[in-house]
Amino acid sequence: MQFKTVFYLIAMTISTATPAAETRLPSCPNSPNCVSSQATADGHFIAPFKIIGTVEAAWAALKKSLASQNRTVITRETEGALHAEATSLLFRFVDDIDVILDKAAGLIHIRSASRTGYGDFGVNRKRVEMLRAQLQQAHVIE
């Protein structure tokens, strides 16, 4: 049993890694439980965050907003990219949140996706829009 657990943890760590020089978010699966600012104009697309202040202020505000969400933990961070995991209260499902900072374009690209299942009742889209509202209130994005 311990071998299976260790193998699973290693496999999940390798499969969800975001390199420092990453400029593309992972693509969304065919299921409707994912949104991404780099998706084509299908049901998965969500607008990226347009930075209006300094890049540093926007990045710090994003990390603060993510950390303030219940059951959400930033698991990896590099310069210009981060990965967070949000765990649902009842069934303990994990959603992955990947973020890439595009300094040249003044954008923050974001992807939020469920690891399991098919539908998500709009949870991932609501999460990203809540982050957008928090960053707009902090006056760091449009």
Rounded to 5 degrees, what are φ and ψ at 16?
-110, 10
**R_g over Cα of the chain:** 15
pLDDT band at 25; cut points 50, 70, 90: very high
Each residue's pLDDT tens digit, 87-101? 988 888 899 999 999
pTM, entire model = 0.81
pLDDT tens figures, 95-141: 999 999 999 999 999 999 999 889 889 899 999 999 999 999 999 99
CA 39, chain centre distance (Å): 13
Domain ranges of the chain: 2-137
pLDDT at 5 over 60: no
What totals of helices (H) and strands (E) does the chain contain, helices first? 3, 6
| CATH number belonging to the domain at 2-137, selected among 3.40.50.10860, 3.60.9.10, 3.20.20.70, 3.30.310.80 | 3.30.310.80
Tokens representing residue 93 in the block:
């499902």
Residue bearing tokens 């809540």: 130
Q: Among residues 52, 72, 57, which one has the least CA distance to residue 128? A: 72
